[in-house]
């Protein structure tokens, strides 16, 4: 997720517990979606769509936090 901001993400994961939590939750959802897509887990199409929606929501929140971090640290 957001590979182009690897350095900022590394700092945020160490300094911001909420960021670390949503980052980890995003990665867990990503793995679950992959497991469902590859047949290792089962879910309805509605359940899968909800997991993808939640994953995107977490990514959007993490992205906003990264952008805020960059903005604050350019001063």
**pLDDT tens digit sequence for 28-42:** 999 999 999 999 999
Neighbours of 47 (CB within 10 A): 11
CB crowding 11-43: b at 16 or more within 10 Å, else e: ebeeeeeebeebbeebeebbebbeebeeeeeee
pLDDT level of residue 2 (50, 70, 90 thresholds) = confident
pLDDT recorded at residue 75: 60
Give the global pTM.
Answer: 0.86
Domain count, the chain: 1
pLDDT level of residue 74 (50, 70, 90 thresholds) = confident
Whole-number Å distance between alpha carbons of 33 and 63: 20
pLDDT digits (tens, 9 = 90+) for 42-72: 999 999 999 999 999 999 999 999 999 999 9
Domain span holding position 44: 3-73
Chain mean position to CA 52 = 11
């Amino acid at each position: 997720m957001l590979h182009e901001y690897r350095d900022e993400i590394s700092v945020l994961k160490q300094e911001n517990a909420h960021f670390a939590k949503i980052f980890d939750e995003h990665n867990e959802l990503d793995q679950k979606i992959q497991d469902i897509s590859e047949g290792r887990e089962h879910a309805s199409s509605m359940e899968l769509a909800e997991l993808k929606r939640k994953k995107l929501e977490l990514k959007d929140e993490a992205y906003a936090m990264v952008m805020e971090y960059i903005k604050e640290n350019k001063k």
